[in-house]
Structure 1
């Protein structure tokens, strides 16, 4: 004899076999030996379908949608009484999942835990994942990021430099002095190529790509020809490269996708955009902490290379005066203001 409870008229609606007519009906059970016998009866007590319980196909619960019971001959019974169906079938994996999916105090706790875990991952985990990704990124990939980024820059906004060979040579001399002041292993790890571009609308600007490619605009060379100022700005950009700020920002922004792509071997469209075109990289900005760190790195490097580290302070002071009533140049459009950076530079120089 079956241990399943007998139903004394579970209300719902039914479709007779090979019929699309929906009618009110009841589901009834009675003893049938080792199994329960199940009938569908309409309001006139006509039997629309009969079978043993083990022969029925009972759909798993889905939200508040009616449960559907299908008989071998095609007759169908539907009911919204989930509890009665669960009493008939007993606990199943689907019914337990349906129970946990319901809105209750437990769900609020689960949501709170998920939000807390997401915050912890954002606050601490992304930096850890970024560090791991950087450690496992092949040098060839970083080099290709620089190549792709420069192709995008040259195609979308830059023009060939109009500086004279003498002007370029003066800047390259300063740049080489700075690079030579770096530890030998750091020099070998990055390319440290210096490029010149005329970028209308960007103003006096210098920026570095992750692999060490450095770009200086014609406007910068023309407006700030002082060696100490150039050394301070170039030293700042070298700091971004050595401390891997570009890659760190890139991996932090795309950490989940990038890590999965590297582990699975499927670069996908986003990674292709980063490596081959550089569009995502160019859209990222450095954080306040990274900018302050690069400032301090540039000041120390300028001093070690024999330049006056106050040159970086002069740059920000002049830039702040010139663009006081205008939108600042892209090189300074990060979180710290020029005034804040001047104060921080004075404090750092006092400690050198």
Structure 2
């Protein structure tokens, strides 16, 4: 801790060994053959304590708080003279950090650097953490998320389906053809299950949960009897499952804290609420990139299964015509559509 000493005296206060009495004091420093020796003097130059600097414990700097030096015999010296302490000790790790934290123009640079690092973490680090979390998510947990979300849906907005057994069988047959066209690894990875619900006010809709549970409204089957349309919509939802869009949006919404807690093996109360209630998952929306990706996946899957991929295009065009260019509110919350999206679907169909 040695350095070239430019100052030999510091003013401050001292506490003698085993005493709580605070008294004005000064610290004197001088070199001898054994090193730098300091001496604490009180009123009348009475010596309170002394030791070599190497034997003294010096608290690290903390803002403008007084620096405290503790001698081996328990004598304590306090001073506000940070520069004087720096002359005694030289530049240590603590003083360098203290200098960085001090309010100077360069502090704005440090703040800017911290903000930039935070942005990089949010922009790239979070996606990496999400990918790792998904990779280590046990299948049983995903199944519980599906079950919890479905129970919440049944309690809050859904009623038992009123479709006939024949109508359900026709849709189920289309669904099975789509699944049969998936790679075997994907069929085994997810627990695909088609559910029917009567959901007044939601309109013609279908949506997929992370584990593979898929819910189709009665209104979708009643409004669209064309198998190509049903195949396009269900293929789109299968795309969300295969590409794990549900888990990605769920983990991103739960913040870094829950991701870290989950990776450490403690799901915590927030994730438990999601598993038990499913409210958060129902409130989330897919990103435009995820929707585009699911569109392309569904179109390709529908064609692979023997259906006309233009069915998905017909579905969106019908919705636009029926709602005057605006899709129903519930559909917009989970499947944002636009003229640009229709053009993108048309362009992709041309490449199939």
> Normalized against structure 1, the TM-score is what?
0.80
1:201/1:41 CA distance change after superposition, 3 Å: farther
Q: Aligned-pair distance for 1:89?
A: 3.7
Distance in 1 between the 2:101 and 2:319 partners? 58
Task: Please state if 1:308 is matched with 2:312.
Answer: no
8 A contact 1:61–1:95 mirrored in 2: yes
* Aligned twin of 1:39: 40
CA distance in 1, matches of 2:97, 2:346: 62
CA contact (8 A) 1:7 1:27 kept: no
Partner of 1:206: 206
Q: Larger deviation: 326-335 or 238-247?
A: 326-335
Q: What is the 5 A alignment of 1:149-164?
A: 149-164=149-164
RMSD over aligned CA atoms reads 3.6
Moved more, 11-20 or 79-88: 11-20
| Alpha-carbon distance change, 6 to 20 in structure 1, aligned in 2, over 3 angstroms | same
TM-score by length of 2: 0.80
Q: Is the 8 A contact 2:195 2:214 kept in 1?
A: yes
| 2:222 is the counterpart of 1:240 | no
Using the TM superposition, give the Cα deviation of residue 47 of structure 1 relative to its aligned residue in structure 2, in angstroms: 4.5
Deviation at 1:3?
8.4
Whole-Å separation in 2 of the counterparts to 1:294 and 1:124: 22
Contact 1:12 1:77 in 2 (8 A): yes
2:169 is the alignment partner of 1:172:
no
Query: Match for residue 216 of structure 1?
Result: 216
1:203 to 1:106, Cα distance in 2 relative to 1, 3 A:
same
Report if aligned partners of 1:195, 1:216 keep a CA contact under 8 Å in 2. yes
Secondary structure of the 2:197 match is strand
Q: Deviations over 1:95-131 (max 9, x none)?
A: 3332343345765555444444444444444444434
- CA gap 1:187/1:137 in 2 versus in 1, 3 angstroms: same
Show structure 1 runs of 5+ residues with no match.
none
Q: 1:72 to 1:275 in 2, by over 3 A?
A: same
Counterpart residue number, 2:185: 185
Q: What runs of 5+ residues in structure 2 fail to find an aligned partner?
A: none
Aligned-pair CA distance for 1:66: 1.9
2:319–2:326 Cα contact (<8 Å) kept: no
Identify if the C-alpha distance between structure 1 residues 335 and 309 changes in structure 2 by more than 3 Å, giving closer, same or farther.
closer
Equivalences, count = 348
Give the structure 2 partner of residue 290 of structure 1: 290
Deviation at 1:292, TM superposition (A): 1.1
**Aligned equivalents of 1:313 and 1:6: distance in 2?**
82
Distance 1:124 1:6, change over 3 A: closer
Q: Which runs of structure 2 are paired with 1:24-173 in the superposition (5 Å)?
A: 25-29=25-29, 34=34, 36-42=37-43, 45=44, 47=46, 49-52=48-51, 57-70=57-70, 77-103=77-103, 108-173=108-173
CA distance in 2, matches of 1:33, 1:131: 62
Cα distance in 1 for residues equivalent to 2:82 and 2:270? 45
User: Compared with structure 1, are the counterparts of its residues 294 and 31 closer, same or farther at alpha carbon in structure 2 (3 Å cutoff)?
Assistant: closer
Residue 195 of structure 2 corresponds to 195
1:12/1:346 CA distance change after superposition, 3 Å: same
Distance in 2 separating the partners of 1:253 and 1:13: 53
